[in-house]
Amino acid sequence: MNILELDSLKKYFATQKAVDDISFNIQQGSIFGLLGPNGAGKTTLLRMITGIFYPDSGNIQFNGQPFHPEKNNIDIGYMPEERGLYKKMKIGEQALYLARLKGMSKNDAMDSIKKWFIKFEMESWWNKKVEDLSKGMSQKLQFVTTVLHNPKLIILDEPFSGLDPVNANLIKDEIFNLAKNGATIIFSTHRMEQVEEICDHIVLVNKGKKILDGSVHQVKQDFKENIYKLGANVLAEQLMTYIFEVVKYEPNQLLLKLQHDTTTNELLKYFINQNITINSFNEVLPSLNDIFIKLVEDTKATRQFQNIES
Amino acid sequence: MNKIFLIIGREYFTRVKKKSFLITTILVPLIIIGFYVAIFAISMNGSDDVQQIAVIDDAHIFNGKADTSNPKLHFTLIENETEKSFLNKYKNLNYQSFLYIPKVIDSVSKNKFTLHSPSSVSLTTMSDVEDLINNTIRKNQLIANGIDPKEFDKKSNSVTLDNAIETKEGQKKSFAGVAYAVSFGCGFLIYMMMMIYGTQVMRGVTEEKTNRIAEVMVSSVKPFQMMMGKIVGIGAVGLTQFAIWIILLLGVQMLAPLIFPQFMEQMQHASTASSEDLSIAATAFEGISNLPIAKIIFLFLFYFLGGYLTYASIFAAVGSVVSEDQQEAQQLVFPVIMPIILGFVIMTKAVNEPNSSLAIFGSLFPLTSPIVMMGRITYDVPFWQMGLSMLLLIGCFLFFTWITGKIYRTGILMYGKKPSWKEMIKWAFRK
Res. B350 pLDDT band, cuts 50 70 90: confident
Find chain A residues with C-beta within 8 A of B14's C-beta: 86, 88-89
B219 touches chain A (CB under 8 A): yes
Q: What is the pLDDT of residue B312?
A: 93
Say if residue B330's pLDDT is above 60. Answer: yes
Do residue B213 and residue B339 come from a single domain?
Answer: yes
Residue to test with chain A: of B5, B12, B215, most A Cβ within 10 A: B215
Residues of B in contact with A85 (CB under 8 A): 211, 213, 216
Q: What is the pLDDT of residue B171?
A: 57
Q: Would the pLDDT of B133 be above 60?
A: yes
B169 lies in some domain: no
Cα–Cα separations (whole angstroms), residue B161 to A230, B164, B175, B181: 116, 10, 10, 19
Q: Based on the fold, state whether residues B82 and B230 are members of the same structural domain.
A: no
Q: Who contacts B103 (Cβ-Cβ below 8 Å, separation ≥6)?
A: B58, B59
Question: Is residue B84 located within the same domain as residue B187?
Answer: no
Instruction: Flag whether the ipTM exceeds 0.85.
Output: no
| Predicted local distance difference test score (pLDDT) of residue B175 | 61
Q: Rounded to whole angstroms, how far apart are CA atoms A18 and B74? A: 89
pLDDT tens digits for range A122-147: 888 888 888 888 888 888 899 999 99
C-alpha span between B297 and B285 (Å, rounded) = 17
Q: Residue B309: inside a domain, yes or no?
A: yes
Work out the minimum CA distance from A124 to partner chain B, whole angstroms: 21
Domain count, chain B: 2
Distances (CA, A) of B243 to A84, B71, B238, B250: 34, 46, 9, 11
Q: For residue B10, name the pLDDT band (cuts at 50, 70, 90).
A: very high
Same domain? For B420 and B301 the reply is yes
Question: In this predicted structure, which of A5-14, A76-85, B261-270, B316-325 has the lowest mean pLDDT?
Answer: B261-270
Q: How confident is the model at residue A32 (pLDDT cuts 50, 70, 90)?
A: very high
pLDDT of residue B307: 92
Give B226-250 pLDDT, tens digit per residue.
Answer: 999 999 999 999 888 888 877 877 7
Q: Chain A partners of B216 at a C-beta cutoff of 8 Å?
A: 78-80, 84-85, 98, 145
Q: Does B424 touch chain A (CB under 8 A)?
A: no
Residues B237 and B145 in one domain: no
Is residue B283 predicted with pLDDT exceeding 70? no
Query: Residue B369 has what pLDDT?
Result: 92
Q: Which pLDDT value is given to residue B69?
A: 73
In a domain, B98, yes or no: yes
- Are B257 and B187 contained in the same domain? yes
Higher-pLDDT residue of A308 and B341 is B341
pLDDT in tens, B66-106: 767 777 778 888 877 777 788 888 888 888 888 888 877 66
Higher pLDDT, B210 or B291: B210
**Yes or no, beta carbons of A100 and B14 under 8 Å apart:** no
Chains A, B: CB contacts under 8 A, how many?
55
Query: In terms of domains, do B296 and B414 share one?
Result: yes
- A84 and B213: CB-CB below 8 Å? yes
d(CA A127, CA A123): 9
Residue B291 phi/psi, 5° resolution?
Answer: -75, 150
Give me the residue spans of the domains in chain A. 2-221, 225-284
Query: pLDDT at position B294, please?
Result: 79
Note the Cα A77 to chain centre separation in Å.
16
CATH number for B105: 3.40.190.10
pLDDT mean over A43-50: 88
What are the angstrom distances between the C-alpha of A291 and each of A205, A212, A282, A303?
13, 10, 20, 20
Under 8 Å between Cβ of A225 and A257:
yes
Comparison of pLDDT for A127 and B267, the residue scoring more: A127
CA distance A191 to A185: 16
Asked if B221 is an interface residue toward chain A (Cβ–Cβ < 8 A), one would say yes
Chain B residue at shortest CA distance from A145? B216
Instruction: Count CB-CB contacts under 10 A for residue B219.
Output: 24
Same domain, B321 and B373: yes
Q: Is residue B8 domain-resident?
A: no
Residue A97: pLDDT band with limits 50, 70, 90: very high
Identify the residue with better confidence: B236 or B332.
B236
Residues B255 and B135 in one domain: no
Q: Which tens digits make up the pLDDT trace of A196-226?
A: 888 889 998 888 888 888 888 888 888 888 8
Q: Do B220 and A102 touch (CB under 8 A)?
A: yes
Residues of chain A contacting B419 with CB distance shorter than 8 Å: none
Assigned domain for B365 exists: yes
Q: Is residue B204 part of a domain?
A: yes
Same domain, B185 and B316: yes
What is the spatial distance between Cα B298 and Cα B314, in angstroms, rounded to a whole number? Answer: 24
Its domain, for residue B65, covers 49-150
Residue A116's pLDDT band (cuts 50, 70, 90):
very high
- Is the same domain home to B101 and B183? no
What's residue B66's pLDDT?
72
What CATH number belongs to A2-221? 3.40.50.300
Proportion of chain B above pLDDT 90, given as a percent: 17
Report the topology of domain A225-284: Alpha-Beta Plaits (3.30.70)
State the pLDDT at residue B234. 93
User: Each residue of B134-178: pLDDT tens digit?
Assistant: 888 888 888 888 888 888 877 777 777 766 666 555 555 556 677
Lowest-confidence region among A148-152, A184-188, B340-344, B410-414: B410-414
- The phi, psi pair for A155, rounded to 5°, reads -110, 120
pTM for the model stands at 0.74
How far A118 CA sits from the closest chain B CA (Å)? 23
pLDDT digits (tens, 9 = 90+) for B383-421: 889 999 999 999 999 999 989 988 888 888 877 667 777
The lowest-confidence range among A260-269, B94-103, B269-278 is B269-278
In the predicted structure, residue A92 carries a pLDDT above the cut 50: yes
- Angle of helix B293-321 versus helix B383-411 axis, rounded to 10: 20
Strands B51-57, B97-101: pairing is: parallel
Over 90: is that where the pLDDT of B310 sits?
Answer: yes
CB-CB under 8 Å, B214 with A84: yes
Pairing, β A184-189 against β A31-35: parallel
pLDDT given at position B167 = 59
* Arithmetic mean of pLDDT over chain B: 80
